[in-house]
A and B are shown apart, each in its own frame.
Chain A
């Protein structure tokens, strides 16, 4: 049985293979979103969310009230004019939306903070460009220790909610990139474990039917899940990083690990421990 949600580029001819599965259709824009959701519904698949990979700014992405109730992961390069954003804000607040912004674009760290403080959930996208580490650390501090409630800034708040101090922690799921939670299809229906594997053409199976019994027993899956240990076999900089437990090499995936990312990850770990220590645990009352 396939437990993962299937991330796929929306094509109607793929839908017949997705019956009974949780799916994340990938689309380029929000136009005619009904033409995406209705066929998925009629094909018997369950839409976990719509992943919109837009090349236009958020303010031009065509957000409208009709999207209320549809979980949307909207990846945009930037926000667009702030004045347009404030006109759009009443609509945005009615939507179940999470905005993905690359941190390599100037001004996006500020945008992430503005959006979060206004109650819009955000995710930072590590786009391969060298981030402003100080700015990112400031944003992390805001995410964990902001004085008033704000929407989550992932992966920081995801880690805060799921942090296990006694183990290695991963946050790939926020990018639909954790094979335990998501699998990826190409337009021909071939299955890949991650987005990178999809881009490389490194497929796990030729179609979903051949992994009907699940992927947990497959060598490729096991190998991917233990890929973190390669850092220790190679004895690279990540293997001695004090922040290893919250990064597992993720921040160094698109760049050579150095003191910048090591310092940042160590601070992330400290903040997580402090955040977990100070966060009040929910009071649970007796349940019948």
Chain B
């Protein structure tokens, strides 16, 4: 699903120095109406009717509710990736403009990362609760895991209390290409998986159905894990492919961790499938050089069967940065 960045500005809850924003308050780094209309036309002409509004924090765009309403009126299914709409005024405007649309057409992907560790809520608890009182029923919770010390207790409590969707999207926090954001090393992934499954009884009791976001290597899950996931969520996709991000200045990139990799302009293309093909080809070239995040990925039969993408591609690319440039030229930025 393509992702449109409304603004590069972010709030205090996001620990990722996401994209090394230059001047997030500058209108240049905010999506303009002209660009939004162009992007919407482009996606509709490509037959795409679903998109994610993202950022930064999309609701920090001064016209976030209007832009979301516009896209809904153009016929899109809109998901908003957010840490919760802050500010009473912005919330009231969003409620009055957006609460009338059906849940299937408009919902939030709520980032619960700050609640994975007790006492890490950044003082925004009140704002978030106000947001959840209004939009809780429209929220699909997400969490990105950094290490094996997290707890899912608080997120599960919030899901239950505010009537959020029981589909909890669990992802690994990936490194960001081009900056030093904190992310787990490949060797840590097994420990994170074990930690996730230590909450399996709790998830079962609260009927939480975890969904695995992209970038998990399948070999870090044992057969019991996979069987549990099969019974309790049914959505285990271990592949890795471009999702396509569109920035305020119409820059495009293959997916969030590769925000700074092989950027092009949306204006260079005629359709989304053209962009998709280009980045997919690039992904394949990287995987020819290095199949996945582990050495063993090179000979893995599940990779050959395309059951697993070998983790997030950004790990491979980061490895290439630390060695002599002997690989295919396309795999370098």
Contact = CB atoms under 8 A, between A and B. Distances in A.
Interface of A: 82-83, 86-87, 89, 110, 113-114, 117-118, 138, 142, 146-148
B73 A86 contact: yes
16 contacts: A83-B69, A86-B66, A86-B70, A86-B73, A86-B97, A110-B33, A113-B34, A114-B37, A117-B74, A118-B70, A118-B74, A142-B37, A146-B41, A147-B41, A147-B45, A148-B45
A87 B97 contact: yes
B34 A110 contact: yes
Contacts of A117: 37, 40-41, 74
Nearest to A150: B41
Interface in B3-37: 32-34, 37
B76 to A, nearest CB: 12
Contacts of B134: none
A82 B97 CA distance: 10
A114 B69 CA distance: 12
Contact of B65 (A83, A110, A142, A147): A83
B33 A83 contact: no
Interface of B: 32-34, 37, 40-42, 44-45, 63, 65-66, 69-70, 73-74, 93, 96-97
Given A86-B73, A114-B37, 19 more contacts: A82-B63, A83-B69, A83-B93, A83-B97, A86-B66, A86-B69, A86-B70, A87-B96, A110-B33, A113-B34, A114-B33, A117-B40, A117-B41, A118-B70, A142-B37, A146-B41, A147-B42, A147-B45, A148-B41
A83 B74 CA distance: 16
Contacts, number: 42
A276 to B, nearest CB: 21
Nearest to A85: B66
Contacts of B41: 117, 146-148
A113 B34 CA distance: 8
Contacts of B32: 110
A113 B41 CA distance: 12
Nearest to A117: B37
B45 A113 contact: no
A83 B34 contact: no
A138 B37 CA distance: 12
Contacts of A82: 63, 66
B75 to A, nearest CB: 10
B43 to A, nearest CB: 9
Contact of B73 (A83, A118, A138, A146): A118
A97 B241 CA distance: 45
Contacts of B63: 82
B71 to A, nearest CB: 11
A263 B34 CA distance: 22
Given A83-B66, A110-B33, A117-B37, A147 B44 contact: yes
